[in-house]
Structure 1
Amino acid sequence: LGRYDETGAFVPYFDRAAIEDGALANKGLEIAWVADAAEFFFLQVQGSGLIRLPDGSLMRIGYAGQNGRGYVGIGALMRERGLIGDGPGQYPGSMQGILRYIHENPEAGKALMRENPSWIFFKENLGDGPLGSLNIPVRKGSSVATDPNFIPLGAPVWLDVENNVADGMWIAQDTGGAIKGVNRFDTFWGNGPEARTIAGGMSSRGQALLLLPKGVLARLLAR
């Protein structure tokens, strides 16, 4: 994915910093403005969500595209720099802990977020949702995002992880820029305070079993 610059050369598309600095300004592309840049950053990580408008109503937004830049997890960067932990000046590795760091350190937090050059574009979803990669609504407690190079969309997956709230059967219904590799799963918990608490602290290790019909398994083993 790229763009043609003012000289006519085909170059990479604008990264996060360029977009935040106004590379796409005055083009009439905005569908809404948000009050908290850090919350919006995590909305982009999630790929869909709800925006509360000034009149109290909610706008449902969903994934519309990505700028072609690779995803960089800022939690991993914080861990490498000794910012994640239980000691003085450290923060929990959950979404809530990372948000707290950004809010308490606005300049450093802004720079940290810009180290992830990936930018997600949104569109308003007027129907049921949010929609997954199968273009059908995902459901809390049953839909999971996976890497389709390893887990086919629509396949049932049994999870057994340290945080046992996620144990059980899930259906691979979505994908994501951060969901890469055979051992990456992103469970969907819906919206609201309870969902935010569960999802924000969900980083957990464990096992996953991909369930396949016997005939499919036989064909795979015969290759």
Structure 2
Amino acid sequence: MIHALRAACVAVSMMCGAGAQGEVTHQILGFDQLEGWDKDDHAAALQAFLNTCPDLDDPDWTSLCAVAQNHPVDQAKAFFELFFRPVLTQDGDPALFTGYFEPELEGARSPNARYRYPIYRMPPEAKRNNPWLPRRDILTSGVMDGRGLEIAWVDDPVELFFLQIQGSGRIRMSDGSTIRVGYGGANGHPYRSIGVELVRRGIYNAHQVSAQVIKNWVRRNPVDGDDLLMHNPSYVFFRTVNQVPASSGPLGAMNRSVTALRTVAVDPKFVPLGAPVWLEKDGSGKMRRLMVAQDTGSAIKGAQRADIFFGTGDAAGQAAGRLRDPGRMVVLLPIQRAFALLPDELQ
């Protein structure tokens, strides 16, 4: 799992989880009903699909994966149209698209005056006890000291806080090397939005709050900022991820690298992991694109809830942080699976 929570939910969202869901409905669409379908790069989507489809074990999917592995790349659009049907699944909640990314932090293998904030592995007692200690106790009680649980030290506690929210990232070390870290577990306490807390305290209005606004406020107000970070009792631990090449994306929920602007995180209750997903994102910078459901997130709940992976680094983070848009999400399912969702009288 690439992250425990999503940055879009950190800032202001009081709607990150789905509300009381209504009746779930399914509607089979034609490909001509997918706005912009003919203009997309279907070959890029096919490559993303091939990255994870060999791990699918259902016969409907394994047979399609076998076909995809031998299908001409220049005929990718025909592959999707021949073997899939678009299914619009709705549960009564409006569509919401947000974004996430892989952050990069500056760090060192040993602490010094600059690099003072440790990235921790999960201690064994935290694995045995759920919930374990809250964030404040983990960081101030000394329970982590002298145990060799540090993966690295970084220079910015605010960036470390947001690394925990994303759940994975890269650490550029002072010796010129880079290490990759991934989600290694959590202390079991519920996440509390520090953006919502800033609004509650009357410091900002809801529409003013973003990840960057939060970071700037904490840095300008170090004492109150530290207290604000402690407002969230949830704490994420990490593990090193050495098997992923630097040129590839971080690991998603399917334990495969995710692809920038072709991977989407979904609620697997409604969307099968590994399935192609057609996104019609409205708002600023409209997006009409075929992606693949290769990730999940605890804040991604609902049939029309999706989180788009934007890539690695600051630019990706800025693009992901701005995204909070409506639209429509349509899942491409194997033909027999699509029709099996319809009521008997419509089959």
| Range class of TM-score, shorter chain | 0.7 to 0.9
- The CA deviation string for residues 25-68 of structure 1, in whole angstroms up to 9 with x for no partner, is 22221111111111011111111111121113221111111222
Three-state SS of the structure 1 residue aligned to 2:323 is coil
Check 1:217–1:77 CA distance in 2 against 1; reply closer, same or farther (3 A cut). farther
Three-state SS of the structure 2 residue aligned to 1:189 is strand
Match of 1:213 in 2: 334
TM superposition score normalised by structure 2? 0.55
TM superposition score normalised by structure 1? 0.83
* Structure 1: runs of 5+ lacking an equivalent: none
Distance 1:127 1:27 in 2: 25
5 Å-filtered alignment, 1:3-22, equals 12-21=131-140, 22=142
- The CA deviation string for residues 82-126 of structure 1, in whole angstroms up to 9 with x for no partner, is 4344xxxx9842221111111112222222222222211111111
Match of 2:104 in 1: none
Match of 2:258 in 1: 138
Match of 1:177 in 2: 298
Check 1:182–1:115 CA distance in 2 against 1; reply closer, same or farther (3 A cut). farther
Distance 1:144 1:186 in 2: 5
TM-superposed deviation, 1:157: 2.2
Residues 142 and 170 of structure 1 are in contact (CA less than 8 Å); yes or no, is this contact kept in structure 2? yes
User: What is the aligned-residue RMSD (CA, Å)?
Assistant: 2.6
Three-state SS of the structure 2 residue aligned to 1:110 is helix
Check 1:194–1:136 CA distance in 2 against 1; reply closer, same or farther (3 A cut). same
Task: Tell me which of 225, 241, 256 is aligned to 1:125.
Answer: 241
Aligned amino acid, residue 93 of structure 1 = V
Distance 2:220 2:304 in 1: 33
Distance 2:181 2:256 in 1: 14
- The CA deviation string for residues 188-210 of structure 1, in whole angstroms up to 9 with x for no partner, is 11112321221122233333222
Q: Which has the higher helix share?
A: 2
Three-state SS of the structure 2 residue aligned to 1:40 is helix
Distance 1:176 1:205 in 2: 19
Distance 1:206 1:81 in 2: 32
Rg (Cα) greater in structure: 2
Aligned amino acid, residue 187 of structure 1 = I
> How many corresponding residue pairs?
214
Check 1:15–1:161 CA distance in 2 against 1; reply closer, same or farther (3 A cut). farther
Check 1:112–1:158 CA distance in 2 against 1; reply closer, same or farther (3 A cut). farther
Query: Relative contact order (C-alpha < 8 Å, sep 6+): which is higher?
Result: 2
Aligned amino acid, residue 317 of structure 2 = R
Distance 1:214 1:113 in 2: 48
Matched, 1:202 2:323: yes
5 Å-filtered alignment, 1:60-139, equals 60-85=180-205, 92-128=208-244, 129-139=249-259
More displaced 10-residue stretch of structure 1: 38-47 or 208-217: 208-217
Residues 91 and 98 of structure 1 are in contact (CA less than 8 Å); yes or no, is this contact kept in structure 2? no
Residues 130 and 187 of structure 2 are in contact (CA less than 8 Å); yes or no, is this contact kept in structure 1? no
Residues 74 and 116 of structure 1 are in contact (CA less than 8 Å); yes or no, is this contact kept in structure 2? yes
Match of 1:59 in 2: 179
TM-superposed deviation, 1:134: 0.3
More displaced 10-residue stretch of structure 1: 31-40 or 188-197: 188-197
4+ runs deviating over 6 angstroms: none
